[in-house]
Chain A
Amino acid sequence: MEEQNKTIEELANREYKWGFVTEIESESAPRGLTEDTIRLISEKKHEPGWLLEWRLKAYRHWLTMKEPRWPNVKYEEIDFQNIIYYSAPKQKVRPKSLDEVDPELLRTYEKLGIPLREQEILAGVAVDAVFDSVSVATTFKEKLGELGIIFSSFSEAVQHHPDLVRKYLGSVVPTNDNFYAALNSAVFSDGSFCFVPKGVRCPMELSTYFRINAADTGQFERTLIVAEEGASVSYLEGCTAPMRDSNQLHAAVVELVALDSAKIKYSTVQNWYPGDKNGKGGIYNFVTKRGKCAGVNSKISWTQVETGSAITWKYPSVLLLGDNSVGEFYSVAVTNNYQQADTGTKMIHIGKNTKSTIVSKGISAGFGQNSYRGLVEIKKNASNARNFSQCDSLLLGDKCGAHTFPYVEVKNRTSRVEHEASTSKIGEEQIFYCKQRGLSTEDAVNMIVNGFCKEVFRELPMEFAVEAQKLLGVSLEGSVG
């Protein structure tokens, strides 16, 4: 046991692998938030008038809102006037190919393990890399363009496809949805836009990497994915961020729209800086993610692996409007040291014969606090709706906590809702068994934890599944008590 604990301690004390700061001159807005800040952002991005109005409407509403206090997380008051709301890497002309991109930036990506060129050739993945708030490189765009798929940075989409953006922006997460969504709507800097036209299957996994770089810059990403009738798309999002002392706020909004028979799969691996082992620093990740199954037979699937951030606060949700639509949520959330996570999902069944599946795996170690908070709501007309939820927690150590707050609200008798939850720890006999077969404690724990999360990992696209397992390894594997 003694020896085992030692290994655990070593593992738990590992430093954040991906922490470094890239020295690039950036152009920033002054600290604080006023209507002028918003006008500045909008002007910098050459946005049309309606979008500025939209932002201002969100801002005015935000002023009337209060910061939510109900999540099961604790943090110091955020000073919203002490945040830089806009920062862009300085560049004179927008690059046309990778060769024109600042080599310093490219090196950063390489350090992060996102070799753009290699991925272009080997993996066949189109990467829309977001560095701070401005997209600097987009690959495979032409290839996708041939199929009619639009995959670009949000600002580009605003310039080139204003009608599409205008039609769908805010249609799933309205500007007044919640405190952070309103803030995001007012000041969002950039993000990704993806549109898959009728009947088109996107031939490759679309992926984008977010990074937060300039110190003290809150990052407000906006992602919008639309799949028209019969279209399908799989989208990956992954993130790492450099080491920082002061907390950084991240309030993104992701909107997904699936029309008749469309399928959208959205996968996330989130590994932002979680703070040091004393709970100092780290990212505040307050995100609103929501999908709308607007058409019949549509399907939206969320898969997330959350290992980073000091505080994670997100509930990727699905509105099941269309008859026979399907919503899925697969999640692994890890909290180690002083990390806190309050995450889960909402499945709102509105259409008939709608189905949803929730599989949530929470792992707590160190002083981590991990909460699952979910809502399954069956509206009155959602006949034959079906939900299955499972949320399991694994506790590694006696100073962490696991909490579940599942809400089930049913207004239709023909529906069937099942919810299961369990909490456990890694059994000593399991470890013993593995050690007996010659595995080290570290490998044994790694294996058991990965087994615990398998149901979620197998939902991830291949590239991510590998990364996710590695991340989990770094995050905690040996912290068993």
Chain B
Amino acid sequence: MSLSHEQTINHYLESYKAFEKSLNGDSSLPIHSLRDEAITRFAEMGFPTKTDEEWRFTNVSEIAAKRFEIPTLGAGFPEREAKTEKFVFEDLKGPRLVFINGIFAKNLSRLTQSGSDVIVKQLSSALSEHPDLVSAHLGRYISSGVNGFAALSLAFMRDGLFLSVPDGVVLEDAIQVLFVSTEAESEIATYPRNLMIVGSNCRVSIVESYVCIADDSYFTNAVTEIVVGENSVVEHDKFQNESVNAFHIAATHIHQAAHSNYVSNSIAVGGRLVRNDITAVLDAERSECTLNGLSVATGNQLIDNHTTIDHAKANCQSHELYKAVLDGNARGVFNGKIFVRKDAQKTDAKQTNQTLLLSDDATIDTKPQLEIFADDVKCTHGATVGQLDSDQLFYLRTRGIPESKARDILTFAFASDVVSRVKLDALRDQLEAFVHAKLDASRRTNGS
């Protein structure tokens, strides 16, 4: 049964009423007015449609037409916890937060952080324990006005990572946040919400992952806001391996201060309909931003990456590398915007987008976009779409490697160019294994 536009709006308005009740005392928090405002905005806007330029190639009407429910705690949580354990990156020794269907899984999480005033906790507890700190940032970067998804996120957010790092702290171990989706009573929607506030002169690594236990149909609407202080370095790795029947809509916003350095590595292999929005605002001089991304899509998957780098101030640098490997009937979308504001002189921005099409039915829509309002800048972008290089294939075959094997080697080499940029050794090896497995599976189904 699919819902009409009005039914969709009504469905979310009703869900919101039920959700409000489930919040109990928390609905008296000052942050609650944000939720009320957001649901009103959603009722006005609804979900984006294909006539919206930002959503031209990604039709989300399927999400709008489904009746996704808010998950309830329910019975069987310990069993789910047991099934989830295998998804944890055990080699990462730092703090860890695990959420199952959006609900905090205490037994799997590890919140000990020795010394200093670093706060690593659930967003839900931060809402009541650090209301001032939270409300100074939450929803400031991705407000409810952005689109229907951002509005729903603010209205329905329940939990996620809250990280606050005071000035001058170097975190040795990466912080891991894991969102697991598993079987539920009905098709569910979860709204992971992360907020990270990094002070000046810090170094932090974050690993954010989205995985599933079975091939269920569900909807993940994740929003992450990151504030990077002066001279700080943040590495943010995102791994997305949702169910091939799931919808994953994610928005990440990074706000950078002077001399800061932010690196994002986003690896997406799962999901039926995936949309990643990453927006980095280089809001002070000499900040640097690196966005790397890899999508591997097969079957009927659609993976859409929208990146925006906003050079608001002078002397900043950005580097971007997005790659996609598409097989079966998969569709890829890339939209990379680079804005250079009026006074952002001496900007150096470089963007590369490469797509490998492995099947005749795979499609890519790519749109690199430069908007430049300053004259003393260096901006380049390059986009290529193609198949494996026949010369390289030939070279490998002259070395006695069979063609199918040679194709595998070259395809993996293409993909691992992005994965190899992940700095955490323990994570990188595992991600490579995931990508390998995904490519293998795709080859088997196609019998090539």
* Interface pair A423/B368, CB less than 8 Å apart: no
* Interface pair A398/B382, CB less than 8 Å apart: no
* Interface pair B372/A401, CB less than 8 Å apart: yes
Q: Which residue of A lies closest to B355 (CB)?
A: A410
- Give the docked Cα–Cα distance between A415 and B375 (Å): 35
Q: Which residue of B lies closest to A404 (CB)?
A: B370
* Interface pair B386/A416, CB less than 8 Å apart: yes
Smallest beta-carbon distance B367→chain A, Å = 5
- Give the docked Cα–Cα distance between A467 and B293 (Å): 47
- Give the docked Cα–Cα distance between A470 and B376 (Å): 26
Known interface pairs A408-B365, A409-B364; A423-B380 also in contact (CB < 8 Å): yes
* Interface pair B383/A398, CB less than 8 Å apart: no
Q: Which residue of B lies closest to A369 (CB)?
A: B373
- Give the docked Cα–Cα distance between A404 and B358 (Å): 28
* Interface pair B378/A421, CB less than 8 Å apart: no
Q: Which residue of A lies closest to B378 (CB)?
A: A424
- Residues from chain B with Cβ under 8 Å of A403 in the complex: 369-372
- Give the docked Cα–Cα distance between A410 and B363 (Å): 6
Asked if A170 is an interface residue, CB under 8 A from chain B, the answer is no
* Interface pair A422/B384, CB less than 8 Å apart: no
A-B contact pairs, 19 of them (CB 8 A): A70-B53, A378-B385, A393-B370, A398-B375, A400-B373, A400-B375, A403-B370, A406-B369, A407-B366, A408-B366, A410-B385, A412-B357, A413-B357, A413-B358, A418-B382, A419-B368, A420-B381, A421-B370, A422-B378
Smallest beta-carbon distance A390→chain B, Å = 10
Of A378, A399, A404, the contact of B368 (CB 8 Å cutoff)? A404
Of B342, B358, B370, B371, the contact of A398 (CB 8 Å cutoff)? B342
Asked if A411 is an interface residue, CB under 8 A from chain B, the answer is yes
Binary per-residue interface labels of chain B (120-156) against chain A in the complex, 1 for a CB within 8 Å, 0 otherwise: 0000000000000000000000000000000000000
- Residues from chain A with Cβ under 8 Å of B217 in the complex: none
Asked if A405 is an interface residue, CB under 8 A from chain B, the answer is yes
- Residues from chain B with Cβ under 8 Å of A413 in the complex: 357-360, 362, 387
Asked if B431 is an interface residue, CB under 8 A from chain A, the answer is no
Considering the complex of A and B, which 3 residue pairs feature the smallest CB-CB distances, nearest first? A413-B357, A395-B375, A419-B383
Asked if B345 is an interface residue, CB under 8 A from chain A, the answer is yes
- Give the docked Cα–Cα distance between A412 and B377 (Å): 36
* Interface pair B368/A406, CB less than 8 Å apart: yes
Q: Which residue of B lies closest to A376 (CB)?
A: B385
Q: Which residue of A lies closest to B372 (CB)?
A: A402
Q: Which residue of B lies closest to A428 (CB)?
A: B376
Taking A393-B372, A416-B384 as known contacts, 7 extra A-B pairs with beta carbons closer than 8 A to each other, sorted by chain A number, are: A395-B372, A395-B374, A406-B369, A415-B386, A416-B386, A423-B377, A425-B376
- Residues from chain A with Cβ under 8 Å of B374 in the complex: 395, 398
Q: Which residue of A lies closest to B327 (CB)?
A: A413
- Give the docked Cα–Cα distance between A405 and B337 (Å): 9
Asked if B213 is an interface residue, CB under 8 A from chain A, the answer is no
Smallest beta-carbon distance B345→chain A, Å = 7
Smallest beta-carbon distance B388→chain A, Å = 10
Asked if A162 is an interface residue, CB under 8 A from chain B, the answer is no
Smallest beta-carbon distance B348→chain A, Å = 11
- Give the docked Cα–Cα distance between A224 and B378 (Å): 42
Of A397, A407, A418, A421, the contact of B375 (CB 8 Å cutoff)? A397
Known interface pairs A380-B360, A407-B365, A409-B364; A425-B375 also in contact (CB < 8 Å): yes
Known interface pairs A70-B53, A398-B342, A416-B385; A410-B375 also in contact (CB < 8 Å): no
* Interface pair B365/A409, CB less than 8 Å apart: yes
* Interface pair B367/A407, CB less than 8 Å apart: yes
Residues of B within 8 A of A (CB-CB), count: 36
- Residues from chain A with Cβ under 8 Å of B361 in the complex: 380
Smallest beta-carbon distance B326→chain A, Å = 9
- Residues from chain A with Cβ under 8 Å of B355 in the complex: 410
Asked if B424 is an interface residue, CB under 8 A from chain A, the answer is no
- Give the docked Cα–Cα distance between A380 and B360 (Å): 7
- Residues from chain B with Cβ under 8 Å of A393 in the complex: 370, 372
* Interface pair B379/A423, CB less than 8 Å apart: yes
* Interface pair B387/A414, CB less than 8 Å apart: yes
- Residues from chain B with Cβ under 8 Å of A395 in the complex: 372, 374-375, 377
* Interface pair A417/B385, CB less than 8 Å apart: yes
- Residues from chain B with Cβ under 8 Å of A418 in the complex: 382-384
Asked if A461 is an interface residue, CB under 8 A from chain B, the answer is no
- Give the docked Cα–Cα distance between A439 and B365 (Å): 47
Of B360, B378, B387, the contact of A423 (CB 8 Å cutoff)? B378
- Give the docked Cα–Cα distance between A85 and B49 (Å): 38
Q: Which residue of A lies closest to B384 (CB)?
A: A418
Smallest beta-carbon distance A423→chain B, Å = 4
* Interface pair B367/A406, CB less than 8 Å apart: yes
- Give the docked Cα–Cα distance between A420 and B350 (Å): 11
Known interface pairs A408-B364, A411-B363; A401-B373 also in contact (CB < 8 Å): yes
- Give the docked Cα–Cα distance between A421 and B338 (Å): 12
* Interface pair B383/A410, CB less than 8 Å apart: no
Asked if A396 is an interface residue, CB under 8 A from chain B, the answer is yes
Smallest beta-carbon distance B314→chain A, Å = 11
- Residues from chain A with Cβ under 8 Å of B364 in the complex: 408-410
- Residues from chain B with Cβ under 8 Å of A378 in the complex: 385
Q: Which residue of A lies closest to B356 (CB)?
A: A413
- Give the docked Cα–Cα distance between A395 and B378 (Å): 11
- Residues from chain B with Cβ under 8 Å of A399 in the complex: 342
* Interface pair A398/B345, CB less than 8 Å apart: yes
* Interface pair B363/A409, CB less than 8 Å apart: yes
Of residues 416 through 474 on chain A, the ones whose CB sits less than 8 Å from some CB of chain B are 416-425
- Residues from chain B with Cβ under 8 Å of A422 in the complex: 378-380
- Give the docked Cα–Cα distance between A393 and B382 (Å): 14
- Give the docked Cα–Cα distance between A412 and B375 (Å): 38
- Residues from chain B with Cβ under 8 Å of A406 in the complex: 367-369, 383
Asked if A481 is an interface residue, CB under 8 A from chain B, the answer is yes
Known interface pairs A407-B365, A407-B367; A417-B384 also in contact (CB < 8 Å): yes
- Give the docked Cα–Cα distance between A422 and B367 (Å): 15
- Residues from chain A with Cβ under 8 Å of B370 in the complex: 393, 402-404, 421, 423
Smallest beta-carbon distance B145→chain A, Å = 21
- Give the docked Cα–Cα distance between A401 and B374 (Å): 7
Smallest beta-carbon distance B333→chain A, Å = 10
- Residues from chain A with Cβ under 8 Å of B365 in the complex: 407-410
- Residues from chain A with Cβ under 8 Å of B366 in the complex: 407-410
- Give the docked Cα–Cα distance between A395 and B381 (Å): 16
Q: Which residue of B lies closest to A421 (CB)?
A: B381
Smallest beta-carbon distance B262→chain A, Å = 23
Smallest beta-carbon distance B303→chain A, Å = 15
- Give the docked Cα–Cα distance between A413 and B385 (Å): 8
Q: Kindly name the residue among A408, A413, A416, A424 whose own CB sees the greatest number of chain B CB atoms within 10 A.
A: A413
- Give the docked Cα–Cα distance between A297 and B361 (Å): 26
* Interface pair B379/A412, CB less than 8 Å apart: no
Known interface pairs A395-B375, A406-B367; A421-B382 also in contact (CB < 8 Å): yes
* Interface pair A417/B363, CB less than 8 Å apart: no
* Interface pair B53/A421, CB less than 8 Å apart: no
Of residues 217 through 264 on chain B, the ones whose CB sits less than 8 Å from some CB of chain A are none
- Residues from chain B with Cβ under 8 Å of A415 in the complex: 385-386
